[in-house]
Amino acid sequence: MLKIIKKIAADYKEYILLVALLLVSLLFLSNSNKPQIKRLQAVAFGNFAFVNSIVSDIGNWFALSSEVREMKKQNADLMMRLDILKQHESENAELKKMLGLRDSVKYNLQAATVVSKLSGSLQGNFIINAGKEEKIERGMPVITSFGLIGIISDVDTNFSVVKTIKNASLNIAVTDGRSKVDGILSWDGRNLVIRNIPTTYDIQAGDSFSTSEFSTILPPSIPVGKVISQQTNSEGLMKDVYIEPYTDFHFVKNVFVVKLIFSKQIDNLEMNLFKNKE
């Protein structure tokens, strides 16, 4: 410690001497009663106060800057914590809905988690962490608490592939819950669409479509999506109806496999047909 003090004294002796002389001068000035000294004293003390104010402001600026940086750091940390809490809240709400769904439906449901999403423009597939050990079989529907996801297309010991409704090789019979108009829902690479519906048929924006009782691969009344738009063809006789799915495929994580093969013999034929189209 003594060595440090000696080093500082040797390096800054001129500045230390100057400060000492200034302090002595100020001391003498403060004890003198002469008018000229009083004026000089006022000027000196004024300059000293000005310099001291600047030094104080600089110190306060550095202190404030440090506080601002610390507050920004704390704000970023709080934002991250809030985002995590929002994610947990959303997942908790989804799981509550799924528990309510499992308690309310008559089918045997197997809970599973999406572990991978393999989505191209035409081929939309999910991989879930349930397979033969959970008695999952090819042809079983996959749903969320909002609606239909797709159908099991391949099964391994612990995992299964879900062919989603956003897969061009999967066609689903659906019906309008309000007007009972039937159609075939398919994926065109960009949208879910029901093609070649006569323009005289009563379909309105916002109508809800679900799986039809005429479906050979899915049980009826599973919600699919709602009508967002319609487009009439050039002849004006037919129209295409565009559907927005109830399930957000970008964020889906938890699903149910409906442990039911609606019509196994026909289902096998149709799934093979769809697979040959890929």
CATH of the domain at 113: 2.40.10.350
Report, as an integer, the average pLDDT of 264-273. Answer: 45
Domain total in the chain: 1
Range of the domain at 123: 109-277
Model confidence at 259: pLDDT above 80? yes
Residue 270 is assigned to a structural domain of this protein: yes
| Confidence (pLDDT) at 272 | 45
Residue 69 is assigned to a structural domain of this protein: no
Report, as an integer, the average pLDDT of 27-40. Answer: 56
Q: How confident is the model at residue 49 (pLDDT cuts 50, 70, 90)?
A: low
Residue 241 is assigned to a structural domain of this protein: yes
Q: How confident is the model at residue 123 (pLDDT cuts 50, 70, 90)?
A: confident
| Confidence (pLDDT) at 214 | 86
| Confidence (pLDDT) at 107 | 74
Pick from 43-47, 130-134, 259-263 the range whose average pLDDT is largest: 130-134
Residue 19 is assigned to a structural domain of this protein: no
Q: What is the 3-class SS of the chain, one letter each residue?
A: CHHHHHHHHHHCHHHHHHHHHHHHHHHHHHHCCCHHHHHHHHHHHHHHHHHHHHHHHHHHHHHHHHHHHHHHHHHHHHHHHHHHHHHHHHHHHHHHHHHHHHHHCCCCEEEEEEEEEEECCCCEEEEECCCHHHCCCCCCEEECCCCEEEEEEEECCCCEEEEECCCCCCCEEEEECCCCCEEEEEECCCCEEEEEEECCCCCCCCCEEEECCCCCCCCCCCEEEEEEEEEECCCCCEEEEEEEECCCCCCCCEEEEECCCCCHHHHHHHHHHHHHHC
Residue 68 is assigned to a structural domain of this protein: no
Q: How confident is the model at residue 18 (pLDDT cuts 50, 70, 90)?
A: low
| Confidence (pLDDT) at 1 | 57
| Confidence (pLDDT) at 73 | 66
Higher pLDDT: 37 or 267? It is 37
pLDDT digits (tens, 9 = 90+) for 212-249: 988 888 888 899 999 999 999 878 899 999 999 999 99
What's the whole-number average pLDDT of the chain?
A: 77
| Confidence (pLDDT) at 271 | 45
Residue 250 is assigned to a structural domain of this protein: yes
| Confidence (pLDDT) at 215 | 86
Residue 30 is assigned to a structural domain of this protein: no
Residue 253 is assigned to a structural domain of this protein: yes
